[in-house]
A and B are shown apart, each in its own frame.
Chain A
Amino acid sequence: MDTAIDSVTDTFIQVSEVWVPDTETGETLVLAEGSYGELAGFEAASRRESFAKGEGLPGKAWAEARPVVLKGFDGSYFKRTEAAREAGLTAAVAVPVFDGDTLNAVLVVLCGDDDTRTGAIEVWADTDGLLMLDDGYYGAAKHFEWVSQHTHFPRGQGLPGGVRASHTPMLMRDLGSGYRFIRADSAGKAGLTTGLGLPVPVPGGAGYVLTLLSARGTPIARRFELWDARSVKVGRDRAAVLADGVCQREGPLWTDDTQEPPRRVAPWQGQIGKVLATGVPVVTSGNPGLSAGYETMVALPIHDDGEIAHIVAWYC
């Protein structure tokens, strides 16, 4: 892998935070963890905040039981508009983490809008077997946004269709070559390279797929990991094995399991182990224990059939 590209400083996502139901009443969402970089003002505003069901962006994702994309905060239900404006944040995506009918957490990522930040965070919804774009935030990738709005994926096709059909997160390597015709062409032009797609299970069985498409210049992450934690894969003892991953610093993270067993972590063993044990996403930064010396890590559990089925993690 080319380590020179590691020198970029701007990332597409500027803030990541985890909101969890408060432990006493379970009726409001409170901040569990967040990574705010230098946006101390927004951090302070966030730490003061809490959200009832239906309130603000995290509350809306909870109430509507689906991932929510919000572009433009002014005049919206977003509660931290002023602090966000001062921090230069203009869009946010909230991803609810449900274990069956129970909300474990809401992951919120926020981005700043300018002419250079390129990437995509998309929510695809399954409508009669077709994955249609529910909403998405693309930064400066306007053409790609337009193309995506006019594309749909049958099950099994493309990143959203593949994720939906396999009930499994997937990591696509080169979106610019063959990522479903026109969209691939546009993705290539927008500089989008790596695509992470993951199912977002919600109560009621509606099918949502979240995709994070990362560009070289303003990457969503420099390291992606997909962990498989299904008992049908790892056995009765809870664990997660690293099924796939790429890293700008360490190269491919998967192993040919005929030769070498994949990395395996037990509950509580590191950040992935923490997600495995708690079922709640982790956002951590400034932690030198992070793989390959990255500054920030986000790890998100995907529940299925009463267990944590997968964990996806991305690092900047």
Chain B
Amino acid sequence: MQKLVVIGAGMATGRALEHLLDTAPGAYDITLFNAEPRGNYNRIMLSPVLSGEKSYEEIVTHDADWYEENGITCRFGEKVVSIDRERKVVVGEQGEVAYDKLIFGTGSSPFIIPVPGHDLPGVVAYRDLEDTNAMIEAAGKPGARAVVIGGGLLGLEAAAGLRLRGMEVTVLHLMGHLMERQLDEAAGYLLKKDLESRGIEVRLEAATNEISGDGKVERVLLEDGTVLDADIVVMSVGIRPAIGLAKDAGLDCGRALKVDAQMQTSDPDIYALGECVEFDGNVFGLVAPLYDQAKVLAKTLAGEADAFVMKQLSTKLKVTGCDLFSAGDFAGGEGREDIVYRDPARGIYKRLVIEDDQLIGAVMYGDTADGNWFFGLIKDGTDISEMRETLIFGPAYQGGAAADPLSAVAALPPDAEICGCNGVCKGDITAAIEGGATDLGAIRAQTKASASCGTCTGLVEQVLSVALGDDFVMPTAQPVCGCTDLTHEDVRRLIKARELKSQPAVWQELGWTTPNGCHVCRPAVNFYLLADWPLEYRDDPQSRFVNERNHANIQKDGTYSVMPRMWGGMTDANELRAIADAADKYGATVKVTGGQRIDLLGVKKEDLPAIWADLNGAGMVSGHAYTKGLRTVKTCVGKDWCRFGTQDSTGLGIALEKRLWGSWTPHKVKLGVSGCPRNCAEATCKDIGIVCVDSGYQIGVGGAAGMDVKEVERLVDVKTEEEAIEWVVAFVQLYREHAKYLDRAYKWLGKVGLEWVQEVLADDAERAALVERFDLSQSVYQTDPWAERAEPEAARRFQPLADLTLEAAE
């Protein structure tokens, strides 16, 4: 095992050790030196410790147990005296340690202004726990006064902490505004005002001449002659990389200890990271790049390739109630453009700096909600030209604001049914949660909710989320569209549970983010509403695809195809004559379809009402070749004609078609009825396919012969034609009530499982109820759209508009 010695138990080396122990456990025998008599703690959280808003224990990153568990030899409170690179040993105050690899994490030292009196007791820097405790101690004296020299990040955090501790605090800052490296003047002004409202005195352009006192700090003298009483002086004017040891060891140093992108120094066995290093001319003071360096160094030591790259940095101030954020470069200049937003009443200032269509800097005061988003745009160099007008308002303005996704479920009363299959109400689920069920599995086990078809799973999860908060992690689900966070299944269940019977009710009660949906959700919601509330809801043609709206399929040349229904594929001479006449009259091409129908192609839109009227006149109705509904029932000739036929397959096909036509379904539905297992009607690749046998009827469901080719699965075998019709109708209604819009039957079955469907339909009462609900719906929807639209008033919609552009041109 190689020997690794680490000098400095700070945040950077701490993170590097964590990564190294993860990446290459047991690869190194590690010894850790630290001049402070303790291990690693989150140094950037010292300010809340100073203010009393955190305890030291809370910010300890690695405690004694962690070091012990990881076999790290700790030499805390012991300074390293020197490095002997020849012998590869680190010389500590208590003795030597040999190394194969050495890491420098010596950090930085506070810069102390060398004014007279800078070494008096009571002058402290703000670097470590000792400094923090010294300040807390000083604050314990009634009426104590503090002077903080330096209005940068750390100085202001110290000032706020000391004020909260009860001190009278003055901040002295040499420059014209606070935090001038991170803030522009306007933000600096707001920050000053904010600090002053806390009783902190801020003096800008204030130069310190002298610190004086009798054996300890008593006052600070400024260049302009002002004298400030002080019990403690906090120097917070900057840091210097701590590189004395590295220099003495003869390592290559500039402003700091030089490293390459693998964090290697000029000695290939010595590495460095953190505030003591210089990379590509840069030195470091914020934690984010240090953590990046830690990752790279751990990989390097584990023999993996990685390279450190400089990234943009952002700044936040840890003073409770002061919300500021800055990132990137916000200096003005030629070719740079500012976008500024101010809300004086609320103390909000936001400024964005743009160059070459990219955001290069952002300063925010009072409203930092979008800080990270702006920071991302800066880091990624995103082209913002498209969103320039609304950029300052943040990401929410780039799209609709999301509604409260859980509000719909939260608003459900306890007796609202969540799981239709098992009759489980919201109150049952809530009671189970109160009884200790905290995940979906437990809810299923205790209540049976979502244990059957599973389409209510999303809602059950939302009830869990409402009850348990963020302790319950919601699985990500695909929402219907960008207008909502709800899934199709959620919307279906909520339409039922909340008895939503109109589109506006759905938009409002389910928190749609758009005024009235979009081309994706409207057809789905329209279907769900008409399927659930056939009497109360009225189909909305504007929520339908163009073919359904025009009741004909538009073709590639803009004409339409017209296909009359032929019950079970049967026709007669009169119908054929009417079709032939229509073909002649309207110049249509005639095609026999795979579903045993005759299609008239090439009909102009304005001729549609007339051809429908003509075909209606011959007793024919729309074949619905364009709908998400019943298409065709394909049959063979059956036992009346065929030598092998076992039942009247044609008769059954006609009966089914006459019962089912006109109904809207989630997707198209095709049926086939074959008179014997030879299956001439190809029934076994239909959504519903019946194969007649001597003993009765084999009903299969979930077949397909399109992009996916699937054979049906057996739903049930029945003895009589009546039973066959009842089962088919019940199946269609179950599909209508539960499937996601645009799921063919086989897709729906794939989700809910055939077993569940069989279980539901096997229940005589349930089957009868489904049939009853289907018939109720048919009482409204089994109408011939051709007949309706062949009326003169309705037909007008199909006439082309006058070509006004031509007139205008003339």
Complex interface: chain A residues within 8 A of B434 (CB): 286-289
* B interface residues, Cβ below 8 angstroms from A: 42, 44-45, 51-55, 57-58, 136, 139-142, 163-167, 197-200, 287-288, 291, 316, 320-323, 346, 348, 366-370, 394-397, 401-402, 404-407, 409-410, 433-436, 438, 465-472
Q: In whole angstroms, how far apart are the Cα atoms of A269 and B465 in the complex? A: 6
Known contacts A233-B323, A289-B433; is A273 also within 8 Å of B140 by CB?
A: no
Give, as a whole number of angstroms, the nearest-CB distance from A256 to chain B: 6
- B429 CB → nearest A CB, Å: 12
For A172, the closest partner residue in chain B by CB is: B52
Instruction: State whether A288 and B436 are in contact (beta carbons under 8 Å apart), knowing that A156-B198, A172-B52, A235-B396 are contacts in the complex.
Output: yes
Q: How large is the interface on A (under 10, 10 to 19, 20 to 34, 35 or more residues)?
A: 35 or more
How far is the CB of B30 from the nearest CB of chain A, in Å? 23
A181 touches B406 (CB 8 A): no
| Residues of chain A within 8 A of B367, CB atoms compared | 231-232
Please report the C-alpha to C-alpha distance between residue A272 and residue B410 in the assembled complex, in whole angstroms.
Answer: 13
Contact B348 A273 (CB under 8 A): no
Given the known inter-chain contacts A178-B165, A181-B141, A289-B469, please indicate yes or no for A232 contacting B407, CB distance below 8 A: no
Q: B469, A270: Cβ atoms under 8 Å?
A: yes
The chain B residue sitting closest to A157, CB to CB, is B166
5 A-B pairs closest in CB distance: A270-B469, A166-B321, A156-B198, A236-B396, A268-B410
9 A-B residue pairs with CB within 8 Å: A157-B167, A235-B369, A244-B53, A251-B58, A257-B316, A266-B405, A266-B406, A268-B404, A270-B472
Alpha-carbon distance between A271 and B410 when the two chains are bound, in angstroms? 11
| A129-186 residues at the B interface, CB under 8 angstroms | 154-158, 161-162, 165-168, 170-174, 177-182, 184
Q: Is A103 an interface residue (CB 8 A)?
A: no
**B370 and A235: CB pair below 8 A?**
yes
Q: Which residue of B lies closest to A261 (CB)?
A: B372
Q: Contacting B140 at CB < 8 Å: which of A156, A184, A232, A246?
A: A184
Chain A residue at minimum C-beta to C-beta distance from B198: A156
Specify the chain A residue showing the minimal Cβ separation from B287.
Answer: A258
User: Which B residues lie within 8 Å of A267 (CB)?
Assistant: 404, 406-407, 410
Choose one: B53, B163, B288, B465; the contact of A270 (CB below 8 Å). B465
The distance from the CB of A75 to the nearest CB of chain B, in whole angstroms, is: 39
Known A166-B198, A232-B369: A237·B401 in contact at CB below 8 Å:
yes
Residue of A nearest to B411 (CB): A268
Q: Which of A173, A267, A269, A271 has the most CB atoms of chain B within a 10 A radius of its CB?
A: A269
Q: How far is the CA of A184 from the CA of B163 in the complex (A)?
A: 15
Given contacts A178-B136, A252-B54, whether A270 and B396 have CB atoms under 8 Å apart is no
Are B438 and A289 in contact, CB atoms less than 8 angstroms apart? yes
- Which residues does chain A contribute within 8 Å of B469, judged by CB atoms? 265, 269-273, 289, 291
Contact of B198 among A155, A170, A259 (CB under 8 A): A155
> How far apart are A30's CB and chain B's nearest CB, in angstroms?
19
B53 contacts A232, C-beta separation under 8 Å: no
Please name all residues of chain A whose beta carbon is closer than 8 Å to the beta carbon of B321 when the two chains form the complex: 165-168
List B contacts of A170 (CB < 8 A). 53, 320
Given the complex of chains A and B, what is the CA–CA distance between A268 and B464 in angstroms? 11
Q: Is the CB of B142 within 8 A of A246?
A: no
Q: How far is the CB of A302 from chain B (nearest CB, A)?
A: 13
Measured between C-beta atoms, what is the minimum distance from B288 to chain A in Å? 6
Q: A157 to chain B: which residues have CB within 8 Å? A: 163-167, 199
Which listed residue, B45, B164, B366, B409, touches A156 by the CB 8 Å rule?
B164
Q: Does A277 contact B (CB under 8 A)?
A: yes
Are B410 and A274 in contact, CB atoms less than 8 angstroms apart? yes
**B623: shortest Cβ distance to chain A, in Å?**
48
How far does the alpha carbon of A244 sit from the alpha carbon of B394 in the complex, in Å? 25
A237's partner among B52, B287, B402, B410 (CB-CB below 8 A) is B402
Chain A residues within an 8 Å CB radius of B348: 232
Contact: B197 with A155, CB < 8 Å?
Answer: yes
Complex contact A269–B58 (CB within 8 A): no
Instruction: Tell me which residues across on chain A come within 8 A of B139, comparing CB atoms.
Output: 178
Q: Which A residues are CB-close (under 8 A) to B438?
A: 288-289
Given A166-B320, A181-B166, A288-B435, A269-B470 contact (CB < 8 Å): yes
Contact residues in A for B198 (Cβ distance below 8 Å):
155-156, 162, 165-166
Query: A168: which B residues are within 8 A, CB to CB?
Result: 320-321
B288 and A236 contacting across the interface, CB-CB below 8 Å: no
Chain A residue numbers with a CB within 8 Å of B167 are 157
Most B-side CB within 10 Å, residue of A233, A235, A274: A235
Q: Report if A172-B402 is in contact (Cβ < 8 Å); known contacts: A154-B199, A157-B164, A181-B141.
A: no
Decide if A232 touches B433 in the complex (CB within 8 Å): no
Residues of A within 8 A of B44 (CB): 256, 258
Q: A189 in the interface, Cβ–Cβ < 8 Å? A: no
Nearest B residue to A238 by beta-carbon distance? Answer: B404
Residues of B within 8 A of A162 (CB): 51, 164, 198, 320
Query: Of A177, A272, A305, which contacts B346 at CB under 8 A?
Result: A305
A277 and B410 within 8 A (CB): yes
Question: Is B406 a contact partner of A173 (Cβ separation < 8 A)?
Answer: no
Which single member of A154, A232, A252 contacts B58 (CB below 8 Å)? Answer: A252
Bound CA–CA A259/B466 (angstroms): 27
The residue from B51, B368, B471 contacting A232, defined by CB atoms under 8 A apart: B368
Q: Which residues of B contact A270 (CB under 8 A)?
A: 465-472
For B54, B322, B396, B405, the residue with the greatest tally of chain A CB atoms inside 10 Å of its CB is B54
Q: How far is the CA of A157 from the CA of B467 in the complex (A)?
A: 39
Whether the pair A180, B369 counts as a contact (CB closer than 8 A) is no
Q: How far is the CA of A271 from the CA of B469 in the complex (A)?
A: 7
Q: Which residues of A contact B140 (CB under 8 A)?
A: 178, 181, 184
- The smallest C-beta distance from B132 to any residue of chain A, in angstroms, reads 11
A257 to chain B: closest residue by CB: B316
Bound-state CA distance A179–B53 (Å) is: 11
Do residues B142 and A177 form an inter-chain contact, with CB atoms below 8 A?
no
What is the chain A residue whose CB lies nearest that of B468?
A: A289
The complex places the Cα of A236 from the Cα of B165 at a distance, in Å, of 35
With the chains together, A178 CA to B146 CA distance in Å? 15
Known contacts A166-B320, A173-B55, A268-B410, A237 near B396 by CB under 8 Å:
yes
Q: Is A268 touching B407 in the complex (CB atoms < 8 A)?
A: yes
> Given A256-B42, A266-B404, A268-B409, A173–B58 Cβ distance below 8 Å?
yes
* Complex interface: chain B residues within 8 A of A272 (CB): 469
Closest residue of chain B to A162 (Cβ to Cβ) is: B164
Q: How far is the CA of A265 from the CA of B57 in the complex (A)?
A: 27
B368 touches A236 (CB 8 A): no
Once the chains are docked, how many angstroms separate the CA of A280 from the CA of B691? 63
User: Could you mark each residue 238-258 of chain A with 1 if its beta carbon is under 8 Å from any beta carbon of chain B, else 0?
Assistant: 100000101000011010111
B760 to chain A, nearest CB (A): 32
Q: For residue B470, which residues in chain A have a CB less than 8 angstroms away from its CB?
A: 263-265, 269-270
CA distance A49 to B410 in the complex (A): 28
Question: What separation, in Å, do the CA atoms of A39 and B468 have in the docked complex?
Answer: 27
